[in-house]
Amino acid sequence: MSRSNSASEFMKYNYGEDRLCLEREELAFWERQRRCGDDCDLKMARDLPDDTPQFILRLQREFEERATAFSFAGSGGMVLDAGCGNGELLIAALEMGMAKENGPRFIGMDFSANMLGRARFRTSGDPRAAFLQGSITSLPFVDQSFDWVVSSGVLTCLASPQSMAEALQEFNRVLRPGGGLVVDFFNRLSHYTLARKYLFGERIVPPEYLSFSEFQNQLENAGFQIEEHLGFDFKLCQGYLFMSRYRPVVDPAYLQERISQLLEKRIVPLWPKLSLFGYRIYVRCKKI
Ligand SMILES: C[S@@+](CC[C@H](N)C(=O)[O-])C[C@H]1O[C@@H](n2cnc3c(N)ncnc32)[C@H](O)[C@@H]1O
């Protein structure tokens, strides 16, 4: 399929006037979040229910560490965390010593004043970080002001493919030539997504769900070249097994988390192509 064909195929999901409505709903959701405390920050950032078991939170923290390492590795100069939420990844990157020079090097930006306030509070006193409110579809920065942009778990929140295209253009605009971009998407071709679509009749549409090649086309159209990708989450399913009546005997959720971790940590590094079966895929690319 040619690039222009696949782009118009992608754009057929035109949400028209619903787009503004969906954007307002998204903002209202993040503004409503009122929980606090360390576990709660994690639950808030990942939209996990209050009764999430401790072992899931532990595994989630491992994921955060690995996602942070992948997202900020190789970064330097001025770094933008676009849609930083309550600062989970940004704080982990600061703790890992990834802001190398003095002065505010990490700029956290989010459209929710509530989430941004939480991020600011959690990093208060750290001179390496500064925060600003704004939307990723219209960034409040002049051209070429960053060396690195990370936007984790945000493109998937956007209301339409058009918004995603705008956001990628904006990332390109604020990056210096040769600058790095790290973004992620939910893989519409993972076994879990396919099961949800075909067994449970769920609506699996862009920009939340894409295939790797669709995402690659979007990035290339916006002037980026993919350098590396990393797949996470090889579980068979998410919420459904939590409801298993066999849970008191053997907790299937625990077993599948362990198997997924084994794949992520031991098998995928040996066969990187397996990354493409992950439910969530992070992509590191360069502005060309
Ligand atoms: C799932 S959280 C991810 C937060 C953080 N990047 C992380 O990985 O921990 C999604 C965040 O994106 C923000 N967001 C959603 N749409 C946005 C937009 N158009 N512009 C800026 N932020 C947005 C939400 O307010 C929320 O804080």
- Atom index in ligand 1 nearest the CA of residue 46 equals 1
Mean pLDDT of the chain: 86
Q: Compute the distance from residue 83 Cα to the ligand 1 centre, in Å.
A: 4
Cβ of 152 below 6 Å from ligand 1: yes
- On the question of a cis peptide bond just before residue 248, with omega within 30 degrees of 0, the verdict is no
In the numeric block, which tokens belong to residue 158?
């956007």
C-alpha to C-alpha distances, 92 to 99, 182, 266, 282, nearest whole angstrom: 11, 16, 23, 17
Q: Which of 70, 135, 157, 169 to mutate to test the pocket of ligand 1 (most atoms within 8 A of CB)?
A: 157
Q: Which residues lie closer than 8 Å to 110 by C-beta, 6 or more apart?
A: 30, 83, 84, 85, 116, 119, 131, 133, 134
**Pair of tokens at residue 225:** 């070249």
Q: pLDDT for 109-136, tens place per residue?
A: 999 999 999 999 999 879 999 999 999 9
83 lines ligand 1 (CB under 6 A): yes
* CB atoms inside a 10 Å sphere around CB 130: 15
Q: 2 pLDDT band (50/70/90 cuts)? A: very low
How far, CA to CA in Å, does 16 sit from each of 22, 138, 163, 206, 228?
11, 18, 11, 14, 34
* 282 C-beta closer than 6 A to ligand 1: no
E-state strands within the chain: 79-82, 106-110, 129-133, 146-151, 175-187, 209-210, 224-232, 280-287
Cα R_g (the chain), whole angstroms: 19
For the chain, give every domain's residue range.
3-189+201-234+276-287
Cβ(136) to ligand 1 under 6 A? yes
Whether residue 26 has its Cβ less than 6 Å from ligand 1: yes
Question: Contact 80/130 with Cβ under 8 angstroms?
Answer: no
For 176-224, write each residue's pLDDT tens digit: 999 999 999 999 999 889 988 888 888 999 999 999 999 999 999 999 9
Given a cut of 80, whether residue 101 has pLDDT beyond it is no
Ligand 1 atom nearest the C-alpha of 81 is 6
Of 23, 110, 120, the residue with max ligand 1 atoms within 8 A of its CB, to mutate for a pocket test, comes to 110
**Residues 136/85, Cβ–Cβ less than 8 Å:** no
**Mean pLDDT highest for which of 60-74, 144-158, 193-207, 247-261?**
144-158
Q: Does domain 3-189+201-234+276-287 have CATH number 2.40.50.100?
A: no
Q: Is the CB of 170 under 6 A from ligand 1?
A: no
